């Protein structure tokens, strides 16, 4: 039979047998909706976990560190595992690497302003132009090509106080550590904001040279950019994280000034690198290549693996429940189709007498079951959308507690749901189809 004729015949039967159609549709649509819901809930939960993970851990970044036995400054002239500028250049040119952020740590220094307010900060030498590529957003200013440029993070603007006040408070707290009032005052000063943008600053450090305390200061530098709170960090925590970013040249000068003679940029050994990769699927490949440079790498791919393993079991369980419901639901189409076959024995007999062969009779019934499956699948999608809307409302209003903030139905799940319903229709239609094709035409015509 031609496919169009088959569909037309199937539709004719379906539209005529409304009760049978309704029975089949209820079963199949509930089953299909169960599958779509099962997949959607588990996928939404997984997607939300991965999004949370991506916020917490940068999945497309690799942290690279030196592979030096005995520490960076072990004194050996050749240090195979050191992270040199040459290796940095090689890494920058690796396939799929989009940005590299080098890091040179300068010892903790005291930053002070022209008003002689100060705070201890961690100074980091880096490629300032790369900051924005790694998720650092500027609240004020930006990166300048001026050699004295400093970029302050959000926390560096807090807690600046004059040295005398600070000294007095610390001394009082040392002698009276349980004085809440003193502690509150110290904490209040620690939260006080100072506008750093465009301010001229110096660094200083008190050093012990020949048993005498010597205060060393750096040349003046200027804050040309202030960063926002980093994505994923809380403002509360960020005010205690005080970092200033300078260029690698400035970092070398500061290290020289404060006792660590690293020489020129070319001879500089980096403390770490953060490598951004085009996509997280290339992370493992880039890690392998960096490993060949005799460097240590660390990424967060394992976090994703942990989540995927956790959700694989969850997905299998929910899908299993969905399929079980569909199997139960398929009983309705099986019963309805078998009933329909029995009722239509006379019609089948006539068709056989008019020349329909076994295969054509089976085609008719399987075609009918397939159309029912398709209709059930479409109705199932509608039910699934309604159920998801209800579910999300229940979760939002607190009526229901679920490990998912919001369930969403992915478009890719819809063909899966329809496919399951269609296949269930076809499979459950096979037995009635075979049974129909075996009808003894003469018997039913004679006996009705």
Partner 1 sequence: MLQVEQVSHSFRNAGGVIPVLKDINLTVSAGEMVALLGSSGSGKSTLLHLMAGFMKPDTGSIRIAGQDIVKLSENQLAEYRRFHIGYIFQSYELIPNLTIRENVELPLLFLRVSPSKRKKKAMELLAQVGLTDKSGLFPSQLSGGQQQRVSIARALITEPSVIFADEPTGNLDTSTEEEVLAILHRLNTDLRTTFIIVTHEAEVAAQMGRTITLQQGHLVDNRQSPIAM
Site residues for partner 1 per CB under 8 A: 1-2, 4-5, 9, 12-13, 16, 346-347, 350-360, 441-442, 445
The minimum distance between CB 350 and partner 1, in angstroms, equals 5
**Nearest one of 334, 175, 155, 112 to 243, comparing CA atoms:** 155
In the bound state with partner 1, the residue whose beta carbon lies nearer, of 351 and 384, is: 351
In the bound state with partner 1, the residue whose beta carbon lies nearer, of 58 and 362, is: 362
In the bound state with partner 1, the residue whose beta carbon lies nearer, of 13 and 43, is: 13
In the bound state with partner 1, the residue whose beta carbon lies nearer, of 10 and 333, is: 10
Beta bridge partners of 243: 122
In the bound state with partner 1, the residue whose beta carbon lies nearer, of 16 and 292, is: 16
The minimum distance between CB 439 and partner 1, in angstroms, equals 12
The minimum distance between CB 14 and partner 1, in angstroms, equals 10
Which three-class secondary structure string do you get for 170-214? HHHHHHCCCCHHHHHHHHHHHCCECCCCCCEEEEEEEEEECCEEE
- Please identify which residue in the block is written with the tokens 């129909």: 436
The minimum distance between CB 446 and partner 1, in angstroms, equals 8
The minimum distance between CB 406 and partner 1, in angstroms, equals 46
Q: Give 439-448's long-range contacts (Cβ < 8 A, gap of 24+).
A: 439/345, 439/348, 439/349, 439/352, 439/361, 440/349, 441/348, 441/349, 441/350, 441/352, 441/353, 442/349, 443/349, 444/345, 444/346, 444/348, 444/349, 445/346, 445/349, 445/350, 445/353, 448/346
**Nearest one of 125, 12, 28 to 331, comparing CA atoms:** 28
Q: Are 124 and 246 in contact (CB under 8 A)?
A: yes
Q: How far is CA 324 from CA 41, 185, 317, 321, in A?
A: 16, 64, 10, 5
Euclidean distance between CA atoms 92 and 86, whole angstroms: 10
The minimum distance between CB 400 and partner 1, in angstroms, equals 46
**Nearest one of 252, 289, 285 to 270, comparing CA atoms:** 252
What phi and psi values does residue 137 have, to the nearest 5 degrees? -110, 140
In the bound state with partner 1, the residue whose beta carbon lies nearer, of 36 and 364, is: 364
In the bound state with partner 1, the residue whose beta carbon lies nearer, of 4 and 208, is: 4
Euclidean distance between CA atoms 225 and 238, whole angstroms: 17
The minimum distance between CB 9 and partner 1, in angstroms, equals 8
In the bound state with partner 1, the residue whose beta carbon lies nearer, of 356 and 418, is: 356
The minimum distance between CB 356 and partner 1, in angstroms, equals 5
């Amino acid at each position: 039979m031609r496919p169009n004729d088959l569909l037309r015949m199937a539709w004719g039967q379906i539209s005529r047998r409304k009760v049978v159609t309704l029975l089949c549709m209820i079963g199949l649509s509930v089953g299909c909706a169960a599958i779509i819901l099962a997949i959607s809930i588990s996928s939404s939960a997984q997607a939300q976990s991965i999004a949370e993970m991506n916020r917490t851990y940068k999945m497309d970044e690799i942290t690279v560190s030196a592979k030096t036995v005995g520490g960076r400054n072990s004194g050996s002239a050749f240090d195979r595992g050191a992270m040199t500028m040459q290796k940095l250049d090689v890494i920058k040119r690796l396939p799929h690497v989009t940005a590299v952020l080098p890091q040179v740590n300068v010892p903790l220094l005291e930053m002070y302003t022209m008003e002689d307010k100060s705070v201890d900060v961690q100074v980091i030498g880096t490629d300032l132009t790369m900051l924005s590529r790694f998720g650092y957003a500027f609240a004020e200013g930006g990166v300048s090509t001026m050699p004295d440029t400093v970029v302050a993070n959000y926390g560096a603007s807090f807690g600046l106080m004059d040295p005398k006040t600070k000294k007095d408070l610390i001394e009082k707290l040392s002698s009276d550590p349980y004085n809440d009032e003193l502690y509150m005052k110290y904490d209040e000063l620690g939260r006080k904001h100072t506008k750093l943008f465009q301010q001229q600053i110096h660094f200083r450090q008190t050093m012990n040279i020949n048993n005498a305390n010597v205060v060393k200061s750096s040349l003046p530098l200027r804050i040309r950019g202030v960063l926002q709170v980093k994505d994923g960090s809380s403002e509360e925590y960020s005010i205690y994280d005080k970092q200033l970013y300078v260029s690698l040249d400035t970092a070398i000068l500061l290290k020289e000034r404060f006792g660590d003679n690293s020489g020129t940029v070319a001879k500089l050994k980096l403390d770490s690198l953060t490598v951004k990769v085009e996509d997280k699927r290339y992370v493992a490949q880039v890690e392998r290549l960096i490993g060949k440079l005799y460097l240590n790498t660390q990424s967060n791919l394992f976090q994703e693996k942990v989540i995927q393993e956790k959700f694989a079991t969850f997905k299998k369980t929910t899908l299993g429940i969905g399929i079980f419901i569909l199997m139960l639901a398929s009983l309705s189409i099986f019963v309805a189709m078998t009933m329909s076959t029995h009722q239509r024995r006379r019609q089948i007999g006539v068709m056989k007498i008019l020349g329909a062969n076994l295969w054509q009779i089976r085609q008719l019934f399987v075609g009918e079951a397939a159309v029912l499956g398709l209709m059930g699948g479409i109705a199932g999608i509608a039910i699934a959308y309604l159920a998801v809307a209800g579910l999300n409302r229940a979760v939002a209003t607190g009526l229901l507690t679920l490990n998912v903030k919001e369930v969403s139905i992915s478009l890719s799940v819809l063909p899966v749901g329809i496919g399951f319903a269609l296949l269930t229709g076809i499979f459950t239609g096979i037995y009635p189809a075979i049974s129909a094709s075996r009808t003894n035409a003469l018997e039913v015509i004679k006996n009705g």
